[in-house]
Amino acid sequence: MITHYGSMERAWAEIDLHKLEENVKTIQNLLPKKCKFMAVVKANAYGHGDVETAAFLNKIGVEAFAVATLEEGIHLRKCGIQGEILILGYTHAGRARELSQEELIQTVVDREHGEALNKMGFPVKVHIKVDTGMHRLGESYWDSKGIGKLFLLKNLMIQGIYTHLCVADSKEEEDVAFTKRQIQHFYETLREIEKKGYPLPLVHIQSSYGVLNYPELQCDYARIGIALYGVYSKEEEVKTPIELKPIMAIRSRVALVRKIKKGESVSYGRNFTAKRDTKVAVLPIGYADGLPRNMSGGQVLIDGKKAPIIGRICMDQLMVDVTDIPDVQKDSVATLIGKDGKEERRAEEVAANAGTITNELLSRLSTRIHRIYVDS
Ligand SMILES: *Cc1c(COP(=O)(O)O)cnc(C)c1O
C-alpha cells in the first residue's frame, strides 16, 4: 500500500519503511546485546521525514532517538513520539523549562553550559559530552575534575556520558591510531569519574562508522544515523561491511521533450553543446529541491536506461540527453536516486559525483519534494 502525502506529478521521494526495519535489524546484529539502538533522526531524519520515520521506529520497538536541536525534539514530542529523545546540539539554558516539560534529554556541551542549565531551577535530564579530539562540543577529556563537578549540580539528572569520533570512517593508519586514542582518553576519563565516587551513567561513543569500523566497543547506546537510512556516507569499504538497503528513491516526471540540432547549447552559461542532433528531456526538479548544483555531469535513469545530465542544473529544472532512449515522452518517470528496472543510481554515487557525502545530499533534500511512504 502506498500512502500519498502529496502527488507524483512533479518530483517526489518514495520511502520504503520496511527496508528501514531491515536496516535496524542488520545493524542491531552488529551491536552487543546490552547496547541500545539510538536512531538519529535530526535534520528531518536525513530528509526522510522525522515524524514518519520516528513513529515507524517506535512501532517496531526503537525507544531511543537523537536530534540536533530543541525544536526538532519538541516537534517529535508534539507528534506523539515515545521514548528517549537526546538533543545532540547546544540548547540555550534559557530554555531549560521546555527541556524539562517535554522530557527531552539535553547534551551538556561544556561545564559552563551545565552550570547555566542547573541555575534555571528546572530538573533537566542530560548526557555529558566529552571532547576527546574533535574539538567541537564537549568538556575536555583531561578535565575530569571539572566533569566531576557537574555531578554535584542538583538540577542535572545525569543519565549518560558520551564522546564523538571524528575519523572513525577512515582506515588510514594514522586515523585509526587517532580514533583509538580518542577511545582510550574517554575510558580514562570515565575511570577518573568513578574514582571520585560518582556513579557512572550510560556510556556511548559510536555513530554509524563507529559501529562499522569499531564494532567491538561495548557501549550502552550506538547513535545510528546514515546507516539507518540504508546508505554509506561514501563508496569506500568499511571493516564490517553489511548489506544496507536504501530506503529512499527520488523521482521526477518529464515535463517535455524537445529536439535540438548539433551545435546548439543547453541551459545557463551554455556550457553544454550538442555533438549530434539531440533529444532533450526537461525534468522539473532542480537545486531548490535539494539536488546539488554541481551534480551537473551526472546521470538519471529513464525506462531503465542511463540518461546523462546536460548543461547546468537550474533552481527548478534540469535537462537530460535521451537521444538513445526511444520512448521517452512527457510524463515519463525519471529516477535520480534509486532503482529503475535493472539499473540503480545509489546515493553514494550521486554524492561522490557532486563532491559530497550522502549525509549532506539526503539531509538537504527540500520539503518541496513530496514524501510518499510505503509501509505495508
Ligand atoms: C549526526 C550525529 C550522529 C549520527 O552520525 P551518522 O554518521 O549519520 O551515523 C551521531 N552522533 C553525533 C554526535 C552526531 O552529531
Residue 5 has pLDDT above 70, yes or no: no
> From the CB of 224, is ligand 1 less than 6 Å away?
yes
Mean pLDDT, range 144-149, rounded to an integer = 97
**Atom of ligand 1 minimally distant from the CA of 88:** 13
State the Cα–Cα distance between residues 365 and 210, nearest whole angstrom.
Answer: 25
Phi, psi of 243 (to 5 degrees): -85, 105
The catalytic residue positions are 42, 268
Percent of the chain scored above 90 by pLDDT?
Answer: 95
Q: Is the CB of 165 under 6 A from ligand 1?
A: no
Give the pLDDT band of residue 376 (cuts 50, 70, 90): low
Q: Whose CA is nearest to atom 4 of ligand 1?
A: 225
Q: Is 39 in the pocket of ligand 1 (CB under 6 A)?
A: no
If you average pLDDT over residues 19-48, what whole number do you get? 98
> Does residue 6 register a pLDDT over 90?
no
Evaluate if residue 1 carries a pLDDT over 80: no
pLDDT at 297: 79
Burial of 294 (0-12, 13-18, 19+ CB in 10 A): middle
* Closest by Cα among 301, 297, 290 to 359: 290
172 alpha carbon – ligand 1 mean position (Å): 21
pLDDT over 90 at 98, yes or no:
yes
pLDDT tens digits, residue range 63-82? 999 999 999 999 999 999 99
* The C-alpha cell that represents 17 in the structure block: 519503511
| pLDDT at residue 4 tops 70 | no
Q: Determine the distance separating the centroid of ligand 1 and the alpha carbon of 234, expressed in angstroms.
A: 15
Report CA(280)–ligand 1 centroid distance (Å): 40
Asked whether 62 lines ligand 1 (CB < 6 A), one says: no
Tell me how far the alpha carbon of residue 40 lies from the centroid of ligand 1, in angstroms: 7
SS3 20: helix
What is the chain's mean pLDDT, rounded?
A: 96
Q: What is the pLDDT of residue 108?
A: 98
pLDDT band at 134 (very low <50, low <70, confident <90, very high): very high
Helices marked H in 248-354 — which ranges?
A: 347-353
Provide the pLDDT confidence category of residue 375 given band limits of 50, 70 and 90: confident
Tens of pLDDT, residue by residue over 177-235, are 999 999 999 999 999 999 999 999 999 999 999 999 999 999 999 999 999 999 999 99
pLDDT of residue 322: 98
Mean pLDDT of 106-126: 98
